[in-house]
Structure 1
Amino acid sequence: MFSGGIKPPRVARLLGVTRKSACEWHRAWLKNGKAALVSKGAAGTGCKLTDEQLTRLEAYLDEGALAHGWNDQRWTAARVTVLIAERLHVSYTERGVAYLLKRLGRSFQVPAHRAVRRDDEQVADWERRVWPALKAPGRPGTPGSSSPTSPARA
């Protein structure tokens, strides 16, 4: 765009960036040409864990939270943060752990397995006997009206 004579403010509008960014790009382009505008890659630091540590983390997560001292099988971001700090001696924030787990194809919000003490027979019995009584009734069989003078309200 710059080589085509388009000014930085117009470049900013066309690309949906700030004028400041477009002006910085223009200065870099004037100084070092097109090579100055090549992407330097994603911002931020790379993964703090080595490949071996990632493999060990996956194994720890597969063992379940119970195996690592918690009282249920849920892996929360806070728990995984503690696990990484204690077992791998690497410091992560909870948000960093969330990104790491997403990159590994895992979710810290939903348990991967059923509850350890789940009794499927009791669940089925509850669904058969209790749930119908708790379930909200459906729409009435007759049409209704919001009018206070409607005969449907009588």
Structure 2
Amino acid sequence: MEAAEWFQSGDENLVIAHDLRASVRSVQRWRSAWSQGGPRALASKGPASLPVLSDNLFAVLERELLKGPVAHGWPDQTRTLSRIKTLIGRRFHESYTVQGVAALLKRHGWSCQVPARRAIERDEAAVAGWVKETWPDVEGPWQRSTPGSSSKTKPDSR
């Protein structure tokens, strides 16, 4: 709307662009709209795009996500953004980018979680025993360094 005042006073596009920290091309578009429709033509028309999935449709998507990836034909339980993108396309016939899916999920309170990759054969008791019994021998005694010393494993000389 500030640009409309400058258009009326006859300022050049380059000066207006510099003062408003906008591109000259944007100022040219504003001036064209202003010359055709006056200051009202410069009023905001809202966001460039609205969310494709409404809150009601997102609730349906959440129910689908809670079924898990295997229920939708994937071989494992890994839920990825690209899989969710494909699910949205299949279920709602809407197209999202992977970044758009991430923004959609974040907007509705979902967070990114990276699964811990562990072998199916992992024996938690054996791991706990190794950490308790073997690791201290491998790690060695950890001792405080003396003032002026840069080594943390050097024996204390006090």
Q: TM-score range by the shorter chain?
A: 0.5 to 0.7
- AA in 1 matched with 2:88: I
Structure number with higher relative contact order (C-alpha < 8 Å, ≥ 6 residues apart): 1
Q: Does 1:143 align with 2:146?
A: no
Q: Give the aligned partner of residue 25 of structure 2.
A: 20
What is the TM-score when the length of structure 2 is the normalising length?
0.61
1:26-83 deviation line (CA, Å, top 9, x unaligned) = 2322332210111111113x33335443211111223333554545543211111222
SS in 1 for 2:38: helix
What is the TM-score when the length of structure 1 is the normalising length?
0.62
Q: Does 1:103 align with 2:107?
A: yes
Q: Tell me: CA distance 1:42–1:50, structure 2 relative to 1, closer, same or farther (3 Å).
A: closer
What percent identity do the matched residue pairs reach?
A: 37
Residue correspondences, number:
140
Q: Give the aligned partner of residue 98 of structure 2.
A: 94
Segments of structure 2 that go 5 or more residues without pairing to the other structure are: 151-158
Residues in 1 aligned to 2:28 and 2:113: alpha-carbon distance in whole angstroms: 46
Segments of structure 1 that go 5 or more residues without pairing to the other structure are: 145-154
Q: 1:83 aligns with which of 87, 106, 121?
A: 87
Q: CA deviation at 1:20?
A: 1.4
Residues in 1 aligned to 2:145 and 2:93: alpha-carbon distance in whole angstroms: 62
Q: Give the aligned partner of residue 155 of structure 2.
A: none
- AA in 1 matched with 2:87: L
Q: Tell me: CA distance 1:20–1:134, structure 2 relative to 1, closer, same or farther (3 Å).
A: farther
